[in-house]
Amino acid sequence: MTGLPLHHVALAVESLETAVPLYESITGSGSSPIETLATQGVRVTFIGHQLELIEPLEEDSGVGRFLARNGPGLHHIAFTSADLEADLERLAAEGYERIDPVPRPGAFGHRVAFLHPRSTGRVLVELVEEHGVTPP
């Protein structure tokens, strides 16, 4: 069996306008265009290829509630999947709880699905099947 490689690490932030210059300075990398994912209640951008910054659109969204409970910081880790449906089925059979039983649209036209932190050592895990464009 081949493992799923790291795709990105996501940080919840209160403001992309504040966080982007900070992480561009630290990493020396530029950011992708900001994308609004209204169905997920967030605005997102990538710094380089593996750092995603997510800002809630509303305080009562999932990321908004996360920030209220925890403050800014690690939100989830994501792994690359070449076959999202097959990986979701395999992981469910191994006992992992799916938040998304079927993939949904993610940033940059990718397809994504999340595993519940109850089954992943209290860390939100995202699986990403790349479609569309890859952030700069």
* Average pLDDT per 10 consecutive residues for the chain, totaling 136 residues: 87 98 96 93 94 96 95 97 96 96 91 97 96 65
Total residue length of the chain: 136
* Domains contained in the chain, CATH given: 6-129 (3.10.180.10)
CA distance 34 to 75: 18
Q: What is the reported pTM?
A: 0.90
Question: Residue 49: its pLDDT value, please?
Answer: 84
Query: Tens digits of per-residue pLDDT, 61-84?
Result: 999 999 999 999 999 999 999 999
Structure tokens at 10: 């996501």
Residue 68, SS3? helix
Contact criterion met (CB below 8 Å) for 8 and 80: no
